[in-house]
Amino acid sequence: MKAGSEYAQPRTARETKVVAISPMVEEPREDEEPQTTPCLAGEEDGVRENEVAEEEADVNEDEYADSEELDAMLPDEDATPEASLCEHDDMFGDDEDMDPGGAIPPGEVGEAPREILGVDHDPQGPAGVDDAAEPPPAGPPPPARQSVTDKLRAEAKSVAHKLSHLPKNPFCQSCTMGKMKEKYSRRSAFKRELDTWGEIITCDQVYSSSPQALGLDGETESFVIKDIWSGLLHSFPVPSKAAVHVIHCIQQFVGNRKVQVLYSDNAKEFMGTCMELMMARDGGQPGVPHTNGVIERSNQLAIGGTATCLVEAGLPPCYWSLASPCFCFNLNTQSIHGISPWERTHGSPFLGPKFPFGCLVIFKPNEERTTNHKWSPKAEWGVFAGYRILSLIHHLRAHETVLDLVCRLLLEKKKKQKKTTKKK
C-alpha cells in the first residue's frame, strides 16, 4: 500500500459483537523440546542482531513497492478490497454462525475461573532441576531416645539382671520384695522446738543377762532416762524390768517437776507405769529401733562411757553398776555443747569438785565405836566410786558406803593373792 494514498487512511469501524470465548490452555508435550540456538555465554544479543540483519537484506523495500504483485492487490477506485472480506470470512466464518443466540448476562462475559483444575501452572519446574531425576525415597525415622524409666523396665526383664539381681532395680518385683528396708533415718531428724524441762522425757532399759555382766548386788538391768530439752541423762541399775522399779526410777529422776509426755517403746512396764503415774505416753513403731533413736543413742553413749571408765580404773565389768551412774553425772556437769545439762536443769553450774571414776582418794569411813580404832588414823585410802543421787539434786558427798565397800573388796582380793602366793 503506497504511502499517501486514499486507502492508507483508517477505515470506519464495523459493527462488532461480543462473543464469549472458552479458555483454552495448550498442554505442553514432554517429547518436544524447544528449539534453541547454541551459543556461548554473552553472545545471545549478537546472534539475534545477525538474524534481523539477514531478514532485512533479503527484502528490498523499493523493489517491493513498485512490483506488480502489490498493484494487483490494490482495489479499483473506492471499493473495499474483496480479499479482505474473504480473508475475514475464512478466518472468522459467517456472522450468523458466531451469534450466540441471545444476550449474554453481563457477569458471565469473558470470565474464566481463577484456577484451572488438572493443569500444571509450572510445567517446566524450577530452574536447574532435572525432570527425569526422581527424589530419593525417604528413609525410616530415627529411633526415639529411651528415658531412664524405660531402660530400667527393659533391664528388669532381661536375663542378665535375673542372674544376680544386681544392682537393685525398682521395677523388678523380686528385688523390691527381697531387698526391702526401713526408711533411712538421718541425724537431727527431731525438729520439734522445746521450751521447758520435762516437756518430753524418754527412757529405755539396757539388758545384761550374762553372769559376767551382773552388778555387785545382782543387777541385770540399767534403766536409762533422759530429758530432751536439757539433755540431762542418768542410769539407774535395777534388778529386773518390773514396773515397780521403773516407777521408782522415774520419780527419783523427776522429783517434784512436771512431765508432759513420756516417749518410750511399747513395753508393758512402760505402759503400766504411765497409767500408774497418770502420765501421757507416746511410743515408737514396734520392731523399728530408729523410731526411738534419741534414747537408743543415749544407751550407746552410756554403755561406751561406762566401759571406758572401767578400763581406765582397771576394774572388772561387774562394777558397771557403779561406773554407769558416775559417768552420767560427770557428763551432765560438763559444758561440752554450750550450757551444761546440770545448769539448764538447776539454773547454775555445778561448783563442787569432780573426780573421775576409779581414781585414788582419801576418805573418812563411817565411825565405828570400837577400842581398836581409838588411836588409829581417821582417814583411809579408797577408790572413788561415784556420787550419791538424791531427788531434785545430785549430792556432792561421795557415797561413803560404796567407797568403803570398794576398798574392802580390793583389800580382801589382795589378801587372797598373798595367801595363794605363800602356798605356792
Cβ–Cβ contacts within 10 Å for residue 201, how many?
Answer: 25
Is the pLDDT at 262 greater than 70? The verdict is yes
- Joined together, the cell numbers standing for residue 399 give 557415797
Q: What is the pLDDT, as a whole number, of residue 403?
A: 45
Q: Is residue 37 part of a domain?
A: no
First to last CA, the chain: 171
pLDDT digits (tens, 9 = 90+) for 228-246: 999 999 999 999 999 999 9
pLDDT digits (tens, 9 = 90+) for 151-169: 999 999 999 999 999 999 9
- Joined together, the cell numbers standing for residue 310 give 572401767
pLDDT digits (tens, 9 = 90+) for 275-331: 999 999 998 888 777 788 889 999 999 999 999 999 999 998 889 999 999 999 999
Q: What is the pTM of this model?
A: 0.55
Structural domains of the chain, count: 1
Q: Taking Cα atoms as reference points, which of 181, 184, 180 lies closest to residue 293?
A: 184
Q: Is residue 144 part of a domain?
A: no
Cα 237 to Cα 287: distance, rounded to the nearest angstrom: 25
Q: What is the pLDDT, as a whole number, of residue 245?
A: 94
Cβ–Cβ contacts within 10 Å for residue 382, how many?
Answer: 23
Angle at 175 between CA 173 and CA 181, to 5 degrees: 115
Cα 416 to Cα 97: distance, rounded to the nearest angstrom: 158
> What CATH number did the domain enclosing 228 receive?
3.30.420.10
- Joined together, the cell numbers standing for residue 228 give 530432751
Q: Is residue 341 part of a domain?
A: yes
Cα 147 to Cα 158: distance, rounded to the nearest angstrom: 17
Q: Is residue 315 part of a domain?
A: yes
Domain that holds residue 328: 200-418
Q: Is residue 101 part of a domain?
A: no
Q: Is residue 230 part of a domain?
A: yes
pLDDT digits (tens, 9 = 90+) for 7-38: 566 666 566 665 555 555 555 555 555 555 55
Q: Taking Cα atoms as reference points, which of 339, 340, 338 lies closest to residue 330?
A: 340
If DSSP codes are grouped into helix, strand and coil, which group holds residue 160?
Answer: helix
Contact yes or no for 250/203 (Cβ under 8 A): yes
Cβ contacts of 375 within 8 Å, gap of 6 or more: none
pLDDT digits (tens, 9 = 90+) for 320-369: 999 999 999 999 999 888 899 999 999 999 888 889 999 988 888 776 65
Q: What is the pLDDT, as a whole number, of residue 211?
A: 77
Per the model's pLDDT, the better-predicted residue between 267 and 3 turns out to be 267
- Joined together, the cell numbers standing for residue 29 give 508435550
> Which pLDDT band, with edges at 50, 70 and 90, does 123 fall under?
low
Q: Is residue 374 part of a domain?
A: yes
If DSSP codes are grouped into helix, strand and coil, which group holds residue 261?
Answer: strand
Q: Is residue 14 part of a domain?
A: no
